[in-house]
Structure 1
Amino acid sequence: MKTFYITTPIYYPSGKLHIGNSYTTVLCDSINRYKKLRGYDTYYLTGMDEHGQKVETVAKERSLTPQAHVDIIADDTKKLWKMLDIKYDDFIRTTEDRHEVVVEQIFEQLLKQDDIYLGEYEGHYCIHDESFFTETQLVDGKNCPDCGRPTELIKEESYFLRLPKYQDWLLKYIEDNPGFITPESRKNEVVSFIKGGLRDLSVSRTSFEWGVKVKSNPKHVIYVWIDALSNYITALGYRSKDTKLFNKYWGGDEVLHVVGKDILRFHAIYWPIMLKALDIPVNFKLYAHGWYLMKDGKMSKSKGKVVYPDDLIPRYGLDAMRYFLLKEIPYSGDGVFTPEDFVARVNYDLANDFGNLLNRTINMVNKYFNSSIKKNSATTEFDQLLVDKVKETIEAYSTSMDAMKVSNAISSLWSLISRTNKYIDETTPWVLAKDETKKDELENVLYNLVESLRHIGVMLKPILLDASKGLFTQLNIPTNLQTWDSLEFGSLKEVTVTDKPNPLFPRLDKKIEEEFIGTLLSGHPCKNCKDEEKEPENLITIEDFDKVEMVVGEILECKVHPDADRLLVSQVNTKDKVRQIVSGVSKYYSPEDMIGKKVVIVKNLKPVKLRGVLSEGMILAGKGRKALEVLELNNLKPGDKIS
Structure 2
Amino acid sequence: MAEHDTSAVTKDTFYVTTPIYYLNDVPHIGHGYTTVAADVLARWRRLSGDRVHFLTGTDEHGEKNARAGRERGMTPQGHVDDIVPRWHEMLRLLRISNDDFIRTTEPRHTERVQQFMKRLYEQGDLYRGTYSGYYDVRSETYYTEDELLPDEDGVRRLSPTHGTPVELVEEENWFFRLSEYAPDLLKLYDERPDFVQPKARLNEVRSFVEAGLEDISATRSRLDWGVSVPWEPGHVFYVWFDALLNYITAAGYGSHPDAFARRWPADVHLIGKDILRFHAVYWPAMLMAAGLEVPRQVYAHGFLLVAGAKMSKSNATGVHPATLVEHFGLDCYRYYFLREISFGQDGTFSWESMEQRYTTDLANDLGNLANRVLTMVESYRGGTVPSAPDGGEPAHGEAEAALSAEVALAVAGLQVFDRLEFKRGLESLWVLVGGMNRYVEARRPWALNKAGEHAELDRCLATCVDALRIIAVVISPVMPDAAAALWEKLGLASLGSGWALSAQRLPQAAEQGRTPAGLTVHRGDLLFPKLPE
Aligned match of 1:440: 455
- The CA deviation at 1:185 is 1.1
1:197-236 correspondence to structure 2 within 5 Å: 197-236=212-251
More helix by share: 2
Q: Is the 8 A contact 2:388 2:455 kept in 1?
A: no
Partner of residue 159 from structure 2, selected from 144, 149, 167: 144
DSSP-derived class of the 1:10 partner: strand
Aligned match of 1:385: 402
1:237-252 correspondence to structure 2 within 5 Å: 237-240=252-255, 242-250=256-264
Count of aligned residue pairs for this structure pair: 505
1:45-60 correspondence to structure 2 within 5 Å: 45-60=55-70
Q: Cα deviations across residues 413-467 of structure 1 (Å, max 9, x unaligned)?
A: 111111111111222222222211x221122111111111111111011011111
Q: Is the 8 A contact 1:291 1:329 kept in 2?
A: no
DSSP-derived class of the 1:423 partner: helix
Partner of residue 375 from structure 1, selected from 382, 388, 393: 388
Q: Does 1:101 find its partner at 2:111?
A: yes
Q: Is the 8 A contact 1:375 1:492 kept in 2?
A: no
Q: Is the 8 A contact 1:362 1:497 kept in 2?
A: no
Matching residue's letter, 2:32: S
Partner of residue 293 from structure 2, selected from 276, 281, 285: 281
1:95-174 correspondence to structure 2 within 5 Å: 95-140=105-150, 141-174=156-189
Matching residue's letter, 1:393: A
Q: Cα deviations across residues 5-33 of structure 1 (Å, max 9, x unaligned)?
A: 11111100010101110111111111111
Q: Is the 8 A contact 2:27 2:313 kept in 1?
A: no
Q: Is the 8 A contact 1:120 1:156 kept in 2?
A: yes
DSSP-derived class of the 1:142 partner: strand
Q: Distance in 2 between matches of 1:279 and 1:500?
A: 58
Pair 326,163 (structure 1): closer, same or farther in 2 beyond 3 Å: same
Q: Cα deviations across residues 287-306 of structure 1 (Å, max 9, x unaligned)?
A: 11112101232124344311
DSSP-derived class of the 1:503 partner: coil
Pair 88,326 (structure 1): closer, same or farther in 2 beyond 3 Å: same
Q: Is the 8 A contact 2:403 2:435 kept in 1?
A: yes
Q: Cα deviations across residues 589-618 of structure 1 (Å, max 9, x unaligned)?
A: xxxxxxxxxxxxxxxxxxxxxxxxxxxxxx
Matching residue's letter, 2:513: G
- The CA deviation at 1:311 is 1.9
Q: Is the 8 A contact 2:28 2:318 kept in 1?
A: yes
Aligned match of 1:622: none
Q: Does 1:356 find its partner at 2:368?
A: yes
Q: Is the 8 A contact 1:118 1:157 kept in 2?
A: yes
Moved more, 132-141 or 370-379: 370-379
Pair 480,385 (structure 1): closer, same or farther in 2 beyond 3 Å: farther
Q: Distance in 2 between matches of 1:311 and 1:499?
A: 31
1:499-510 correspondence to structure 2 within 5 Å: 499-509=522-532
- The CA deviation at 1:164 is 1.5
Q: Does 1:430 find its partner at 2:442?
A: no
Structure 1: gaps spanning 5 or more residues: 513-643
DSSP-derived class of the 1:17 partner: coil
Aligned match of 2:190: 175
Aligned match of 1:405: 421
DSSP-derived class of the 1:305 partner: coil
- The CA deviation at 1:499 is 4.3
Partner of residue 77 from structure 1, selected from 79, 87, 91: 87
Aligned match of 1:461: 476
Given the two structures, how large is their TM-score scaled by the length of structure 2?
Answer: 0.92
Q: Distance in 1 between matches of 2:412 and 2:477?
A: 16
Q: Is the 8 A contact 2:129 2:172 kept in 1?
A: yes
Which gives a bigger RCO, structure 1 or 2 (Cα 8 Å, sep 6+)?
2
Q: Distance in 1 between matches of 2:219 and 2:274?
A: 21
- The CA deviation at 1:501 is 2.5
- The CA deviation at 1:329 is 2.5
Matching residue's letter, 1:386: L
Aligned match of 2:77: 67
- The CA deviation at 1:243 is 2.3
1:444-523 correspondence to structure 2 within 5 Å: 444-477=459-492, 478=495, 480=498, 482=501, 483=504, 484=506, 485-509=508-532, 512=533
- The CA deviation at 1:316 is 2.8
Pair 146,302 (structure 1): closer, same or farther in 2 beyond 3 Å: closer
- The CA deviation at 1:327 is 1.9
Moved segments of 4+, more than 3 Å: 478-482
Matching residue's letter, 1:9: P
Q: Distance in 1 between matches of 2:123 and 2:48?
A: 43
Q: Distance in 1 between matches of 2:520 and 2:186?
A: 58
Q: Is the 8 A contact 2:288 2:294 kept in 1?
A: yes
Matching residue's letter, 2:454: K
Q: Is the 8 A contact 1:50 1:70 kept in 2?
A: yes
Matching residue's letter, 2:417: M
Q: Distance in 1 between matches of 2:280 and 2:96?
A: 26
DSSP-derived class of the 2:284 partner: helix
Q: Distance in 2 between matches of 1:302 and 1:262?
A: 15
Q: Does 1:394 find its partner at 2:411?
A: yes
Q: Distance in 2 between matches of 1:499 and 1:228?
A: 49
Structure 2: gaps spanning 5 or more residues: 1-10, 151-155
Aligned match of 2:7: none
Q: Distance in 1 between matches of 2:498 and 2:518?
A: 13
Q: Does 1:32 find its partner at 2:48?
A: no
- The CA deviation at 1:500 is 4.1
Aligned match of 1:304: 316
Aligned match of 1:327: 339
Q: Is the 8 A contact 1:480 1:486 kept in 2?
A: no
Q: Is the 8 A contact 1:362 1:501 kept in 2?
A: no
Q: Cα deviations across residues 206-259 of structure 1 (Å, max 9, x unaligned)?
A: 22210012111122221011100000011222112x3221121116xx621111
Q: Cα deviations across residues 249-284 of structure 1 (Å, max 9, x unaligned)?
A: 116xx6211111111110001111000000111243
Matching residue's letter, 1:32: A
Aligned match of 2:433: 417
DSSP-derived class of the 2:127 partner: strand
DSSP-derived class of the 1:420 partner: helix
Q: Distance in 1 between matches of 2:203 and 2:513?
A: 46
| Percentage identity across paired residues of the two chains | 40
Q: Is the 8 A contact 1:212 1:222 kept in 2?
A: yes
Aligned match of 1:264: 276
Q: Is the 8 A contact 2:19 2:271 kept in 1?
A: yes
Given the two structures, how large is their TM-score scaled by the length of structure 1?
Answer: 0.76
Aligned match of 2:354: 342
Q: Cα deviations across residues 121-180 of structure 1 (Å, max 9, x unaligned)?
A: 111111101111111111101100011111111111121111111111111112111221
Q: Distance in 2 between matches of 1:312 and 1:202?
A: 41
Q: Distance in 2 between matches of 1:506 and 1:498?
A: 19
Q: Is the 8 A contact 1:475 1:495 kept in 2?
A: no
Q: Distance in 2 between matches of 1:176 and 1:300?
A: 36
